[in-house]
Structure 1
Amino acid sequence: MNFTIKNLQFLLIFILGTAPVYSQLEFSGEVNLQGMYSTGEDLPFWMYRNSRGRISGNTNAGGWITGRAIYELNATSTLEGSVGILYQDGIADQVFLDESYLQFKNNWLEIIAGRKQQDEFYNGLSSSNENILWSLNARPIPGLQIKTRKPIFLSERSVLGFEGSWNEYFLDADRHVSAAKLHHKRFVLVLQPNERWTFKAGGQHFVKWGGTSKTRGDQPEKFKDYIKNITGLSVLSGGSSRHIGGFEAHVKRNFRDFSLEFFYNYLFESASGILIKNIPDGRYGIFFENKERDRIVNSFIYEFTYTRNQGSYFGGAIEDYFNNGIYKSGWTYENRVLGSPFFTVSPEGDGIVNNSFVAHHIGIGGQFSDYFNVFPYSLLLSYRSNGGTLSKPYISRQQAFYLYSDFGVLRNFINLDVQAGLELTSDASPILGLGLKISKRF
């Protein structure tokens, strides 16, 4: 999907044409400029991972500009349109769409058409955002999203509710299977007996289907194939689509001044994996958040990610996470892994070369302040032991340590942040990186 002036004109005309009075229409935007330096060929790990596709390993300079218009339909509903363009010298000498979408939103439902950046969870401290399968590591995929904005309870007095989403995405042409489709749905039960406790348990399902393979030609794309894929029947019938899914559990306890959340993500790619054959694989975590932002430490996260079973502990075929024989680009978009960035993508773009690993991750956030200024910061520390894949293991396991810090030195007419990163691995020289980010909202 390429950015054109016609796209922008259509979007603005549509929004302005629906506005009877100017007071109901709000405009906003932001400008971000970033410069980066590295002592190695690539930047240190956390200086470009989970950057929403805006920064690449070899980026020296980049920037993105976003314009947004919000029209109030009534007291509880809004219509929003946005266009954002992105440039970075690490990819190609051209401009990309960072965002381009129309969104309807009320107090419980959200519908998005186009390309929209995902919401950030855990104050940006997590290694893979909301889930191990769906991180902030890649640029958003264009499509249609329908999702709840909050838990929907069965009645005003009910303690049982649910969250859910139904999404259809369209992958671009530059892949082993071009123009493939991606279906995603999520359903989570919510138990909230009182204001202090919240329990969540559910799952999500992705299926990549259709498209034209470089080696196998056109893949089935009829409506009956869509039904088979979204229901999972194509797994039983041996269809050509590739399925990825996961279960999740969350326990959150609210205290007077802070909250604690414990969570677990389980992943699978086969029918046997649904039966918890891959345990103990997954992401385990704890998140602390202070309700008062003006604290030296206002949030903390620890995550442990383990992926060395893949069904092998109980015999039978292994899962080989994020790889597939037909969709050989793997669980990637624009050669960036869609899930946790601890999974390593092949430089040639033919899947994942490291999906068997153990990782420990710590994120710390907070701010320093005086009477006139606020200085927010974030700190990420990660250790990873990489084993390659179970079918093609590394000769010796690679040990890696990643450190990243972002410190806000100015919060005034502009925002100015200084960034630093360090990458230490057992098979390469240390990499040190520095960055400077300037941003302005209006």
Structure 2
Amino acid sequence: MACMYAQKRVSQRVFDAMKALRFTGGLTKFLLSFLLTNAYFNAEAQNQHWSPSAELGSYIGTSSIAPFWLRSNQFGTVPLTMPSLTGRVGLTYESQIYADTIRKSKHARIQWGAGVETVFNLGRGNEKVLLPEAYIKVRWKKLEFWGGRRKQILGIVDTTLSTGSFTWSGNAMPVPKIQLGFPDYVPLKFLRNYVSLKGFFSHGWFNVPYIQGAYLHQKTLHGKFGKPGGKFNMQVGVVHSVTWGGHADYLIGSPLAVDGHLTDNFGDFLWGVVIGKIPKAYQNKRFTNFDGENRVGNHVGQYDLAFEYQLKTSKLLLYHNHPFEDGSGLQLQNIPDGLYGLSWKRAASSKSFIEVRGVLLEYLFSKDQSGAGFDLTNSHFKGNDNYFDHAQYKEGWSYFGKGMGTPFIQPNSEIKSKYWGEFFPDNRVVVYHVGLEGTAARSIQWRTKLSYSSNFGTNNRPFNPTAKQFSYLLMVDAPIFKWGNTRLVTKLAFDKGDLLPSSLAGYIGFRSTAWGKWR
């Protein structure tokens, strides 16, 4: 009885909090459904934890255009035209129950969770309310299933200082999907834990305006090799993502589709999307010779390779993302394309007033693309990979106008109009990048990014002359109130060069992450 009373009391507090935050009706229904389910099943609950967060801030700059590093890799929440006012409210929940309430074995615990974040942007014609996160998850031992929108970065990179994983960087809004897999490495006991694996399989929905009924297929598999508890390990893996299916008016009468429709047949999905095989038929009632010569769907993927070494108080990570979009990339015909990074991170200490806790050097190269020509004589070796662009999906590897991969391959809307071409008019780039982060006076956090790029356009439409670009960011995050762990967040960024409009802008805001925590 006491446990059920506590459940009702917690549920009442959550309901009152949601009314105070004025969530949208759909979002309130989402959370209430989860709460009611949880209250019913969680009579034997352990370790409940609610974590609210909020931020309110404003942008100011020399122009209305947001500099590159203010808007990139922000999960699509910072628009190109800076809003005058922005804010966000978030709430996450973590709990666990016993699958076996009699034995109460720690190995039988089922973990539940949910998260939601609402972002609003006001002013300068950008009045929008966004929902970058809204998900429910359940986890048993190492296996996790979740559904909804959830922030993810796929591939091996330095997640705080990187330019972003080559194919899934967190640059665009998360795609709604359902996912089943192992998010953390699982040691293989029969190999004495020298090998660990992680990965997932997911299905998503591209609810974008330009095409209806398109889907996302995504899967990953990564392995870690090394002595348990040892100083050195190697990681290898693959990330495979596919846009498939859908219908659109612009495809009607086109040789790229059948009556404006791209196949969503389950057999074509298994053979062409999941396995990635070229169809046995050259064309049929479901697809045209475009799919017969290539593969069903827009395939975008990367191989990952990384080496990690643990020092006494710090860690080194050397990594590489190698992209592929067809047989040539799969067969490594586009070497040396990809992202290369060397990251150094160290644990906190209190010896210095200003501390550097992380340094990153990165190099991004995407000029090779398996050669400038497209070869159909051998189905395993193509060419002119034309990263992120696609003939059937006219907005390519994007979601609501934002590229989903590295932010240095930008759509027309983000660069000067004289360079416009295909949806992604500049996918042959060379980038040098430096990132640093640390603390000052123990509690002040800072981070900076400096990037210099040479932009060559595409093989079909090269830039002449090459466009050079420099982008910079400085972030400082400092505590100002103990209540709610309230911190002052400041950012300064600028762009100077040929590709992007020159812009100098700043952001100032207040973030709270601990007010009203319930446990």
TM normalised by structure 2 equals 0.79
Following superposition, the deviation at residue 15 of structure 1 comes to 2.6
1:26/1:70 contact within 8 Å kept: yes
Equivalent residue in structure 2 for 1:399, among 468, 487, 491:
468
**SS of residue in 1 equivalent to 2:204:** strand
User: Could you tell me which residue of structure 2 aligns to residue 203 of structure 1?
Assistant: 238
* Cα drift, residue 22 of structure 1: 7.1
Q: What does residue 36 of structure 1 align with?
A: 59
Whether contact under 8 Å (1:28, 1:69) holds in the other structure is: yes
Aligned match of 2:21: none
Is 2:135 the counterpart of 1:63? Answer: no
Residue 143 of structure 2, aligned match among 85, 100, 109: 109
Q: What residue ranges of structure 1 are gaps of 5+ in the alignment?
A: none
Q: Is 1:433 matched up with 2:505?
A: yes
> Does structure 2 conserve the Cα–Cα contact (< 8 Å) formed by 1:377 and 1:405?
yes
Measured at CA, do residues 93 and 430 of structure 1 come closer, stay the same or move farther in structure 2, by a change above 3 Å?
A: closer
- For 1:6 and 1:35, locate their aligned partners in 2 and report how far apart those are by CA, in whole Å: 30
Asked if the contact 1:37/1:433 (under 8 Å) is kept, the reply is: yes
Distance 1:276 1:428, change over 3 A: closer
Quote the Cα distance in structure 2 between the aligned partners of 1:235 and 1:381.
Answer: 45
Q: Which amino acid counterpart does residue 398 of structure 2 have in structure 1? A: T
Alpha carbons 1:330, 1:350 under 8 Å: kept = no
State the shift of 1:99 in Å.
1.2
Which structure has more helix as a fraction of its residues? 2
Shift of 1:11: 2.8
Read off the aligned partner of 2:452 and give its amino acid letter. Answer: Y
Give matches, 1:36-185, under 5 Å: 36-60=59-83, 61-74=85-98, 75=106, 76-89=109-122, 92-118=126-152, 122-128=158-164, 131-155=165-189, 157-175=192-210, 177-185=211-219
Contact kept in structure 2, 1:15 and 1:69, CA below 8 Å: no
Q: CA offsets, 1:410-437, max 9 Å, x none?
A: 2533111111001111366631111112
Letter in 2 for 1:66: G
Shift of 1:117: 1.5
Matching of residue 326 in structure 1 with residue 392 in structure 2: yes
Deviation at 1:116, TM superposition (A): 1.0
**1:73: how far off?**
1.6
CA distance in 2: counterparts of 1:349 and 1:181, whole angstroms: 26
Structure 2 residue identity aligned to 1:204: V
In structure 2, how many angstroms separate the alpha carbons of the residues matched to 1:122 and 1:3?
A: 35
Residue identity in the other structure for 1:242: N
Q: In the alignment, which residue of structure 1 is the partner of 2:267? A: 224
CA separation of 1:44 and 1:91: change in aligned 2, threshold 3 A: same
> Would you say the 8 A contact 1:264–1:285 is kept in 2?
yes
The answer to whether structure 1 residue 14 and structure 2 residue 83 are counterparts is: no
| Change in 2 beyond 3 A, CA 1:350/1:212 | farther
Residue 390 (structure 1) shift: 1.2
Task: Return 5+ residue gaps in structure 2 as ranges.
Answer: 1-23, 99-105, 252-259, 281-291, 376-382, 414-419, 515-519
How many angstroms apart in 2 are the aligned matches of 1:235 and 1:29?
Answer: 49
Q: Which residue of 2 aligns with 1:280?
A: 336
Whether the aligned pair in 2 keeps the contact of 1:123 and 1:299 (CA below 8 Å) is: no
Contact 1:378 1:406 in 2 (8 A): yes
1:122 deviation in Å? Answer: 2.6
Alignment of 1:335-374 (within 5 A): 335-347=401-413, 351-369=423-441, 374=443
Question: Mean Cα displacement is larger for which, 285-294 or 203-212?
Answer: 285-294
Which piece of structure 1 moves more, 221-230 or 147-156?
147-156
From 362, 375, 382, give the equivalent of 1:303: 362
The superposition leaves residues 147-183 of structure 1 with CA deviations (integer Å, 9 ceiling, x where unpaired) of 32322222172312222121211111312x2221111
Give the match's secondary structure for 1:190.
strand
CA RMSD of aligned residues (A): 2.4
SS at match of 1:46: helix
- Between the aligned partners of 1:354 and 1:416, the Cα distance in structure 2 is 37
Mapped partners of 2:500, 2:91: distance in 1: 42
Corresponding position: 1:291 with 2:325: no
The one-letter code matched in structure 2 to 1:18 is F
Task: Tell me the secondary structure at the aligned position of residue 352 of structure 1.
Answer: coil
- The answer as to 2:415 corresponding to 1:379 is no
Q: Tell me: CA distance 1:162–1:172, structure 2 relative to 1, closer, same or farther (3 Å).
A: same
State TM-score, norm by structure 1: 0.92
CA separation of 1:335/1:2 partners in 2, compared to 1, >3 Å: closer, same or farther?
farther
Q: Distance in 1 between matches of 2:197 and 2:47?
A: 32
